[in-house]
Amino acid sequence: MFLSARRMNGMPVESKGELIGKIEQFLFDDRNWAVRYIVTDVGNRLSGKRVLLSPAAVEKHFDETLKIKISKEQVMNSPDIDTAGPVTRRMEIELHDYYSWPYYWVFPSFYNSLGGAMYPGLTSPSGFMPSSGEKVLDEREILRESHLRSTREMTGFMVQAIDENVGKIDDFLIETNEWVVRYILVDTGTAHRRVILSPGWTRGIDWEERIVYAGHRREIIQNGPAYYAEEEIDRDFENRLYDYYQQPKYWIEE
């Protein structure tokens, strides 16, 4: 199932039928776009407490509600992490130990936070930076700063085609089966037309200048398959999208 990050903003989060908060944004890994955490607002107007929930905590999701496996008491007593600042690997270790969540950083490249392949038909999607490999990382690597970025932070980034600017990032489509940012929605500024790009088709990101570098020319991107609000992304649409960009399909074994 594909859900937009914008649409999920404010979605209620429930535990055992009890409302505990609402989704605020998502933190993803800037090396492979795996969703690592769901930032959830569990406070009131005064406290504004926010917690990080791993996809490992999700029981099921519906169009209007996200249900989690852990109790409200566990969530409210979780390690205090300032989500407004950088989330370090030490913080993550403390959080994962508290909930007994798996350490996603010891999984092979291009695996999600649950230890499953995000691109079963591709071992290494083009455009992605290689991570530290298929081995358990040493202590220095584990304790370094993490690679977490937020969907809110990246919304509005300019998308630079090979030849010129093509538009701005307007939203993200998250595949909640694999918990990965599968697509970027780009507002081309032409009659509010939005097109879809896979993160694997980008060539890099300048975080300071807020630019994403796409791997195609402006005309090609602007004329790509358009995405309209609330449109369902099914396999037929994906086939048309990947055929248009002449890219290998992640769901087909090579």
DSSP the chain: -EEEHHHHTT-EEEETTEEEEEEEEEEEETTT-BEEEEEEE---TTT--EEEE-GGGEEEE-SS-EEESS-HHHHHTS----TTS--BHHHHHHHHHHHT---GGGSPTTB-TTS-BSSTT-SS-TTPPP-S-SS---HHHHTSB--EEEHHHHTT-EEE-SSSEEEEEEEEEEETTTTEEEEEEEE-SSTT-EEEE-GGGEEEEETTTTEEEESS-HHHHHTSPEE-TT----HHHHHHHHHHHT---TTS--
Predicted confidence (pLDDT) per residue in 114-172, tens digit:
999 888 877 666 666 544 444 444 545 544 566 899 999 999 999 999 999 999 999 99
Q: What is the pLDDT of residues 2-57, one digit of tens each?
A: 989 998 999 999 998 899 999 999 999 988 999 999 999 998 655 678 999 999 99
Structure confidence by residue, pLDDT tens digits, 64-118: 899 999 999 999 999 988 888 889 999 999 999 999 999 999 998 789 999 998 8
Whole-model pTM: value is 0.88
C-alpha 1/C-alpha 6 separation (Å) is 15
Return the CATH number of 153-245, one of 3.40.50.10860, 3.90.50.10, 3.30.390.30, 3.30.470.10.
3.90.50.10
Residues 6+ apart with CB under 8 A from 7: none
